[in-house]
Structures are given as structure tokens and as C-alpha cells.
């Protein structure tokens, strides 16, 4: 992995963990998610002119199909993620979601994209997963176990959606040459349309979200697409088996935010376990 690609991934990780902290605090439902998509589409549409000037196709048949499928998968991801944040700690749901996703992406890339399985990549992946397992280790207190199991369930399900949309979008970018920016904007636009029938009857809730979380929505609308565009850009220069796990450096930031900013329990153990994840990232970066 080159320094340029590593910088792309690390910047994306910070952006990603930051908007997840904001989402955890807001604990928003469908109207909150829809408003994110609306604002994001409006803010990023002008950048399509830049892509057009660079010679990238603004519309193509591959873009249509990949953005449609990506929109469905991203909607599932956001809905499950927000449900998890309303039910469990950030420092459980977030690292497990981000840590389980490389497993699914790794398997898909090996069997469906014919990418090679290198020893350093496997070592890095195992270190990441070990760290995640320690971070999300079950508490001996029965009442804590229920909450943690809920976080584990939503975390793994979120990780599955992450792997699915990452694989879908990796094929679009690497195989069909779809622009990461155009793909992201198109995905957000379709997501806005898909959610519209569900949010129209909730006008009061939409107004409440705007009143209470206006700046949070704007921040997430900027940070979430930016983080993902950087990851898709990195996929142009490195295989999915490297990028998918490497982007999980956001776990380090997310666990720190959960323990320090949100004062969640077991913060020290989860932070120490994150060192294993960092070791895994280093192993992946020399692949």
C-alpha cells in the first residue's frame, strides 16, 4: 500500500468515526436518515461539474445499476446502524460492525474477484478480528450481557451490509471505471427517493429533527460521503482485500470517542485491545 493510498484511508477513517459519533448522539430514525441524504445530495451535486470537466461520464448504464443496488444496501446499513446505536454502546456496535465487515469483504474478494490471499494480509486480518473480539468481550454482569448481545447482533448485521455495498461499489469502480464521486451522489439521490414514501407521513418528525439536529445532519451529510469517496478512490490503487480491512483504523477513533466522549464502560480494555487492530493495519499496509 502506497503512502498516498494510506493517507486516503486514514483520512476516511477519521471522517467516518466522527460522523458515527454524531449519529450515536442524535439517535435518529428514518426521517433523520432521509434528511442526511437530502442535504448530502444538494451539497455534492455541484461537484459533478468538476467530474464532467475531468472527462468522467456523468451517466452510464453501469452507474445506473450499481448506484441502485448500492442505494438499497446503504439504506439497510443506515437503518440497522441507527437501530444499534439506539440499543447499545458506540464502542460495541461500531468496532464490531467495522471489524466484521473485512471478513465478509475478504471472502468475497478472494472467491468472486480472484484477488490473491497474501500471508501479511491474513495476519493483519486476524489481528484486527482478535482486537475486535476483545473489545466486544461479554461482561460477567448479566444485565450488561443483554445490552452487549444486542450490540453484537446489530454490529455484525451492519458489518454484513458494509461488506455488501463495499463489494458492489468496488466492482463499479475497479471493473467498470465508475467515478467514486458520481457513484456516491447517484446512490444518495436514489436513497432519497426510496425513503420518500416512508417519511412523507412523518412531517412533524422531520421538522423536529431539523429543529434539534440541523447542524448534526449537515455535518454527517458532508463527512459520510467524503469518507466513502476517499475509500473508493483508494480502491483504484489497491485491492479490496487490503483497503477493506485497512479502513477499519476508524475503530481506534470510534472506541476512543465512545469511552472518552460518551463515557461508556470498559473504555480502557477496549482501547488496549485496539492496539491489536493497529498492528493488523500495519501488517496490511506492507502488503
Closest CA to 68 of 181, 217, 225, 192: 192
Q: Residues 245, 125: contact at Cβ < 8 Å?
A: yes
Q: Which residue has the cell 482486537?
A: 131
Q: Using one digit for the tens of pLDDT, what is the confidence trace for 238-251?
A: 776 677 667 767 77
Closest CA to 53 of 179, 170, 171: 179
- The C-alpha atoms of residue 258 and residue 269 are separated, in whole angstroms, by 12
Closest CA to 128 of 166, 159, 158, 149: 159
Q: Residues 190, 74: contact at Cβ < 8 Å?
A: no
Q: How far is CA 234 from CA 140, 227, 228, 229, 242, in A?
A: 41, 11, 10, 9, 10
Specify the pLDDT at position 174: 84
Q: Mean per-residue pLDDT for 92-97?
A: 79
Q: Residues 139, 266: contact at Cβ < 8 Å?
A: yes
Specify the pLDDT at position 1: 64
Q: Is 32's pLDDT higher than 90? A: yes
pLDDT-based confidence at 266, cuts 50/70/90?
Answer: low
- The C-alpha atoms of residue 179 and residue 9 are separated, in whole angstroms, by 17
Closest CA to 250 of 126, 159, 139, 115: 159
Name the DSSP class of 265. T
- The C-alpha atoms of residue 129 and residue 278 are separated, in whole angstroms, by 11
Specify the pLDDT at position 247: 73
Q: Which residue has the cell 444496501?
A: 73
Q: Is 223's pLDDT higher than 90? A: yes
**In this prediction, what percent of the chain has a pLDDT beyond 70?**
78
51-60, 107-116, 178-187, 193-202: segment of lowest average pLDDT? 107-116
- The C-alpha atoms of residue 151 and residue 225 are separated, in whole angstroms, by 25
Return the axis-axis angle of helices 203-234 and 3-26, rounded to nearest 10°.
170
Q: Is 195's pLDDT higher than 60? A: yes
Specify the pLDDT at position 196: 93
Q: Is 140's pLDDT higher than 50? A: no
Of 30-34, 102-106, 122-126, highest mean pLDDT: 30-34
Mean of the per-residue pLDDT values of the chain: 81
265-272, Cβ contacts within 8 angstroms, sequence gap of 24 or more: 265/89, 265/139, 265/144, 266/91, 266/139, 267/91, 269/134, 269/135, 269/137, 270/91, 270/95, 270/134, 270/135
Burial bucket for residue 194 (CB in 10 Å: 0-12, 13-18, 19+): middle
Specify the pLDDT at position 137: 61
Q: Identify the residue with better confidence: 144 or 227.
A: 227
110-119, 135-144, 192-201, 239-248: segment of lowest average pLDDT? 135-144
pLDDT-based confidence at 147, cuts 50/70/90?
Answer: low
Specify the pLDDT at position 65: 94
Amino acid at each position: 500500500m502506497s503512502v498516498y493510498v494510506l493517507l486516503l484511508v486514514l483520512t476516511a477513517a477519521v471522517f467516518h468515526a466522527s460522523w458515527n459519533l454524531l449519529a450515536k448522539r442524535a439517535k435518529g430514525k428514518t426521517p433523520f436518515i432521509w434528511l442526511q441524504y437530502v442535504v448530502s445530495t444538494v451539497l455534492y451535486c455541484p461537484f459533478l461539474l468538476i467530474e464532467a470537466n475531468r472527462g468522467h461520464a456523468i451517466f452510464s448504464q453501469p452507474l445506473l445499476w450499481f448506484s441502485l443496488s448500492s442505494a438499497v444496501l446503504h439504506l439497510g446499513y443506515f437503518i440497522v446502524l441507527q437501530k444499534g446505536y439506539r440499543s447499545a454502546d458506540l464502542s460495541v456496535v461500531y468496532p464490531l460492525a467495522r471489524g466484521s465487515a473485512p471478513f465478509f469483504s475478504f471472502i468475497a474478494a478472494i472467491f468472486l474477484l480472484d484477488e490473491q490471499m497474501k500471508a501479511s494480509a491474513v495476519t493483519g486480518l486476524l489481528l484486527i478480528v482478535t482486537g475486535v473480539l476483545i473489545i466486544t468481550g461479554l461482561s460477567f454482569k448479566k444485565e450488561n450481557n443483554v445490552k452487549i448481545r444486542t450490540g453484537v447482533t446489530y454490529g455484525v448485521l451492519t458489518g454484513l451490509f458494509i461488506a455488501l455495498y463495499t463489494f458492489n461499489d468496488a466492482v463499479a469502480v475497479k471493473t467498470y471505471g465508475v467515478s467514486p464521486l458520481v457513484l456516491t451522489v447517484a446512490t444518495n439521490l436514489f436513497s432519497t427517493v426510496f425513503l420518500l414514501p416512508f417519511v412523507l407521513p412523518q412531517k412533524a418528525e422531520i421538522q423536529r429533527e431539523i429543529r434539534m439536529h440541523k447542524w448534526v445532519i449537515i455535518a454527517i451529510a458532508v463527512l459520510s460521503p467524503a469518507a466513502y469517496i476517499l475509500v473508493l478512490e483508494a480502491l483504484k490503487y489497491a485491492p479490496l482485500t487490503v483497503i477493506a480491512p485497512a479502513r477499519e483504523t476508524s475503530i481506534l477513533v470510534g472506541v476512543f470517542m465512545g469511552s472518552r466522549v460518551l463515557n461508556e464502560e470498559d473504555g480502557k480494555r477496549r482501547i488496549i485491545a485496539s492496539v491489536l487492530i493497529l498492528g493488523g493495519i500495519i501488517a496490511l499496509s506492507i502488503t
